[in-house]
Structure 1
């Protein structure tokens, strides 16, 4: 099974539909008719802000692994783990604002993306709290693995499913049907 097909399987994870729909509905209700909604979703920038902000925790955590395993600097690694954890709440907030505008198929992928990243952040919190270097390393590697999976799903959500793409343009973006969908055969973008 290739990676694209594996990521596309998230689009068919109907088991998350009920909780994912309830979360999106609650977020829409909370953010409805609010200037804050547009600001959180990037109306001032012309595209979502969440994908930009994710570089902070991911970059900090990847750098932590480099400093720990590559340069033997566990204290620097712990500081970078803390930086990633500090950047997580605003990143989650912006992701939730974007989540409120997703369709059902995108919400499935988004829910699994969020779950993977939540597991990753929890692993990094456990790593950061541990005084034992071996335990820290195990938790941080588990966190990096989970965040990598979550990030791959986030990339699929943005690039393959078109979440947030051209949302403020007058002509809406047409998303390609999910892989394996009978409608995918013969699909062509609108002209």
Structure 2
């Protein structure tokens, strides 16, 4: 399947995302992230495992289902589960935070080999995911300290941040065709 870049810039979200691809102001952040990950991800064999080579499929998109599913389930219990579901929602939230760590590493491995456009969008995607992860972790701690209402509000806001980040992840996969088509500049 051949992927082509969409040119439908009447879509505001797409227009903003295409602008990220070309925004050289992101290059210092890309260079810093690349340098930070280089000691680990310069090893072809390890990066290949993290990219999903043993299963013949990119690993990161599969991995994202776990933290997202856990967080969406926790949010659903918050919204409709009532008081009896609070402990279960807390557990799901905490498990999502833990599952996000290896998921992020698989994303970094994909990102590491991408072209400049992929890396620019990817560094924003990763930053938003970091913010979302921090918000989910904060919500978990708030709930543990019996600040449940605030914790639930933070979960809803984190979902919005991760949703925007997911749009960028989808852009890298569908529009940029990465990891398969996004290697050449």
Contact 2:176/2:182 (<8 A) preserved: no
Contact 1:25/1:100 (<8 A) preserved: no
- Higher normalized helix content (fraction of residues): 2
TM-score by length of 2: 0.83
Residue of 21, 24, 48 corresponding to 2:31? 21
Matched, 1:118 2:130: yes
Mark the runs of 5 or more structure 2 residues left unpaired by the alignment: 1-9
> C-alpha distance in 2, partners of 1:9/1:60?
32
Which residue in 2 is equivalent to 1:53? 63
What's the offset of the Cα at 1:161? 0.7
Matched, 1:81 2:106: no
TM-score by length of 1: 0.81
What's the offset of the Cα at 1:76? 1.7
Contact 1:21/1:107 (<8 A) preserved: no
> C-alpha distance in 2, partners of 1:144/1:174?
27
What's the offset of the Cα at 1:27? 3.1
Which residue in 1 is equivalent to 2:179? 164
Deviations 1:102-151 (A, max 9, x none): 11111110001001111101110110001211111111011101111111
Number of aligned pairs?
Answer: 170
Which residue in 2 is equivalent to 1:137? 152
Contact 2:129/2:165 (<8 A) preserved: yes
Matched, 1:35 2:50: no
Runs of 4+ in 1 over 6 A off after TM superposition: none
> C-alpha distance in 1, partners of 2:114/2:81?
42
What's the offset of the Cα at 1:9? 2.8
Name the SS for the 1:97 alignment partner: helix
> C-alpha distance in 1, partners of 2:48/2:125?
22
Q: Which moved more, 1:155-164 or 1:3-12?
A: 3-12
Matched, 1:97 2:106: no
RMSD in angstroms over aligned alpha carbons? 2.1
Mark the runs of 5 or more structure 1 residues left unpaired by the alignment: 166-172, 178-191
